[in-house]
Amino acid sequence: METIGWGIGIFGLGAVIFGSIWFFVVAFQQDVAWGIACLLIPFASLVFTVKYWSKASRPTAVWVAGFLGLFIGKFVRDGSFS
C-alpha cells in the first residue's frame, strides 16, 4: 500500500504544480497586473478565481484535485485507511 500511496501523492503533486502554472498563465493572459497580483498579493488568486470563474475554474479544479491526491496519498501511505 505504501507504493500506491507514493504514486497517488506524486500524481497529486504533479497536478498541483500543473494547475498552479496553468492558473498563473490564465491570470497573465487576462492582464499582466492580474498575473503579478496573483503571484504577490495574498488572496488575489481567490478574487481572480471568483471574478473570472469561466476562465479560472478548470486550472483551479486541477489544483484542488492535486491537493486531494496529496492528502489521499499520505493517508494510504500511513495506513490510515486500513
SS3 7: helix
Which of 70, 65, 71, 63 shows the shortest CA–CA distance to 46?
63
- Cell digits for 7? 504514486
CA distance 55 to 32: 15
CB 77 within 8 A of CB 2: yes
Q: What is the pLDDT of residue 3?
A: 87
pTM, full prediction: 0.87
What per-residue confidence (pLDDT) applies to 80? 67
Alpha-carbon span 36 to 45, nearest angstrom: 10
Write out the chain's pLDDT in tens, 82 residues: 788 889 999 999 999 999 999 999 999 999 999 999 999 999 999 999 999 999 999 999 999 999 999 999 998 888 766 5
Domain boundaries, the chain: 2-78
